[in-house]
Amino acid sequence: MFEVISKEMLSPAICRMKVYAPRLAASARPGQFLIVIPESHGERIPLTISDYDSVEGTVTIVTQRIGVSTGEICALEAGDCFSDVVGPLGQPSDFVGQSREELAGEHFIFIAGGVGTAPVYPQVKYLKEAGAHVDVIIGAKTSDLLIYKDEMRQVCDNLFICTDDGSEGFHGLVTGLLEKLVSEDGRRYTRAVAIGPMIMMKFAVQTARKLGLPITVSLNTLMVDGTGMCGACRVTVAGKTRFACVEGPEFNGYDVDFDEAMRRQGMYRVQEHEAEVEYEHECKIGRTR
């Protein structure tokens, strides 16, 4: 069994957990993901690894409660156990294969949207330890939804905050802030990485293209079973069908057909809604007994 070592709520709907999984922690690399199964007959939930510690044998996951299965994960407390945790899965970030000498000449800008901030953290941490220069933009709708601010400040060169409503930091979208940093402030970056909502990544790619900046995106939100068997994460990349869970989850942003990816992302909304209604009904029956 895989014990929850610690749990904290980063917001009313977002929880962070450390899970004891020593073999996984020893093998994990930035960009990879794992699958958790809350209970023996539960759904397989793919989650990007938000941190790992091979010494203490733990991996960190961040979950946003948006449906039945994620609700079951967030309901676990320290001392509880997952039925199973599988990983690491997927391909590591491409920079993992670069030498320290190569990375020392790089200046990355990460664009992190919402819960996508969590998987950005281990990438930034890895790059800083390898000698790269790294700036980070964290964006959210409001200041209450910003996560990982303090943690990110400890591992990046410069942190820029952005909120849609202007409640903290730059008032506007992450794409507007990215363009300001490059076009107005004169900052120069060699590579960009965007992780967050699909629509945010689509427009981050458009902005990066305008700025002449190479950009990588993560299609982790498309994954369902995490092995390529279900086909739910099929997406067109550079004109070819790719599977985000086994060939990604990270791809060259310029090559991704985002319109197709967003259509695919909405495939199971009806089933998700039906499951949530049924779950709420069962909960009400249980409370009246």
pLDDT reported for residue 266: 63
User: Following CA atoms 111, 112, 118, 121 in sequence, which dihedral angle do they give, to the nearest 10 degrees?
Assistant: 20
pLDDT reported for residue 155: 95
pLDDT reported for residue 268: 52
pLDDT reported for residue 226: 73
Angle, alpha carbons 11-17-18 (nearest 5°): 150
pLDDT reported for residue 279: 44
Tokens representing 176? 């507007």
- Give the length of the chain: 289
pLDDT reported for residue 97: 86
Q: How far is CA 276 from CA 69, 216, 273, in A?
A: 9, 34, 5
| Strand pairing report for 191-195 and 107-113 | parallel
**φ, ψ for residue 229, nearest 5 deg:** -75, -35
Q: Which runs of consecutive H residues, i.e. helices, occur in the chain?
A: 22-27, 68-75, 100-104, 117-129, 149-153, 174-179, 198-211, 244-247, 258-265, 269-288
Asked if 222 and 233 count as a contact pair (C-beta separation under 8 A), the reply is yes
Q: How far is CA 89 from CA 30, 34, 58, 249, 269, in A?
A: 11, 6, 16, 9, 25
Domains of the chain: 2-89 (2.40.30.10), 94-218 (3.40.50.80)
pLDDT reported for residue 108: 96
pLDDT reported for residue 20: 95
Q: How far is CA 174 from CA 109, 124, 184, 207, 244, in A?
A: 12, 18, 15, 10, 24
* Interacting residues of 270 by C-beta distance below 8 A, sequence separation 6+: none
Q: What pTM was estimated for this model as a whole?
A: 0.86
pLDDT reported for residue 203: 95
Cα–Cα dist 245/44, whole Å? 13
**φ, ψ for residue 50, nearest 5 deg:** -95, -15
Query: What's the distance, Cα to Cα, between the start and end of the chain in Å?
Result: 31
Local confidence pLDDT in tens for the 289 residues of the chain: 799 999 999 988 899 999 999 999 999 999 999 999 888 777 788 888 999 999 999 999 999 888 778 888 888 999 999 988 988 999 999 999 899 999 998 999 999 998 999 999 999 999 999 999 999 999 999 998 999 999 999 999 999 999 999 999 999 999 999 999 999 999 999 999 999 999 999 999 999 999 999 999 999 888 777 777 777 788 899 999 998 888 989 999 999 999 988 887 665 554 444 444 454 544 445 544 4
Q: How far is CA 14 from CA 116, 118, 147, in A?
A: 12, 11, 9
